[in-house]
Amino acid sequence: MASRRARWTTAVWLVAMWAAAPGAQTIRPMPRPSPPDGGRGTPPAPAAAAPAYSGSIVDATLRIPAADPQTAVKELDRYRVVLAVLTGSPESLRPLIATRGPRFIVGPVLFAARNTAAPPTDALRREFQAGRLDVLEIAAARAGITLNDRQLEPYWALAESLDVPVGVTTGPRQTRGGSPLALKDVMTKHPRLRVWVMQTADPWRDDTFAAMAASPQVFTDVGGMAASADAEGRAAFEMFLKDAFARGYQNRIMFSSGESTPPQTIGEAVRGVDVLPFLTAAQKRDIFYANAKRFFRFADPS
C-alpha cells in the first residue's frame, strides 16, 4: 500500500512540475484521481523552503564608511558580491575604488541639500563619456525638491541622452517632495530613462509602486528593509515583497545592503532576503543578481 501511494504521489508531483516550467503549454485540468487509501493517509508535508542562495550578488546601493575599505572588501568577498553601486563625492569613493576598482559602479550624488550647486551638465557629460562615471544619484527629495522640479530637468535629459542609470532617494513623510510619485511626470517626458528608487521603504511603498506602474523603466531596491532586525521591520519587508510580486514587479526588485551601514550589515541584508520562506530559488537569483544585470546592463564577471 505504501509503495502504491508513493508512486501515485510521484506522478502527481511530476505533472505539477512540468506544468509550472517556463514555456509549458496550458492544458485542461483532468479529474484528480483519488489516492489508493481514499485520502485517509498521512497528509503531505508542506513544500520545503528554497535552499540557501549560493550565487553571485549585485549590491544596488552600497553605503559603507570609507575609513575601513579592507574590511568592506572582505565582506563583499564573503558574500560573493561581484558588483556594487557606489555614489557620493569623489573623496568618499576614492578609498574603496582604489581597493578593488573593477568591482564598483560609481557616480556622483546631486542635490543632496537645498541651495547646493550641482556640477554643470557639460562637465558631467565629459566624465561619463570618458568612462570615469557610470551612474547618477539624485537625492533632491531629501532636500524637499520634488523629482519633477524644473531645476532637475537638464540632468534627466543628460541621463536619457547618454543612457545613464539614475538612482533616486526618497525623503521622510514630513519632507515636501519626499515621494517618488513625481517620477511619473519625469518618465512621461523621458521614457527611455533607466531609474531605480533607492532603499524603498514606508511611507512611500504605494507611491513607489505607482511610479513602477507608470513605466517599465522604473526599478527599486530593498536596501531600506532587507537588513531590518526587529519583528515589525521583518514583517513589513515580507509584506512589501509579496505585494510587489502580486503586482507583477518581481523582475524589477534588486538587492541592496542599505544606508550608511558598517560592512557587517552586508551579510545581514543578504540573510534578510535568503531566509524568506516564500521565495523560490529562481526568485532569489532574480533579486540578488538577474534583475540588476538587466537594469545596469553589465557583462557577467569573468
Predicted confidence (pLDDT) per residue in 55-77, tens digit: 999 999 887 766 677 788 888 89
pLDDT of residue 158: 98
* Sign of the dihedral through C-alpha 143, 124, 298, 77: negative
pLDDT at 201 > cutoff 70: no
Percent of the chain with pLDDT over 90: 51
Question: How far, in Å, CA of 279 to CA of 287, rounded?
Answer: 10
| Domains in the chain: ranges and CATH | 1-40 (no CATH), 57-296 (3.20.20.140)
Question: How far, in Å, CA of 172 to CA of 10, rounded?
Answer: 52
Cβ contact 224:61 at 8 Å: no
* pLDDT 10s digits, 72-94: 888 889 999 999 999 988 777 88
Question: How far, in Å, CA of 140 to CA of 110, rounded?
Answer: 7
DSSP single-letter state for residue 289: I
Q: Which residues of 59-73 are buried (b: 16+ CB within 10 A; e: fewer)?
A: bbbbbbebeebeebb
**Of the candidates 91, 122, 116, the residue with the CA atom closest to the CA atom of residue 106:** 91
pTM recorded for the entire structure: 0.80
How crowded is residue 91: how many other Cβ atoms within 10 Å of its Cβ? 8
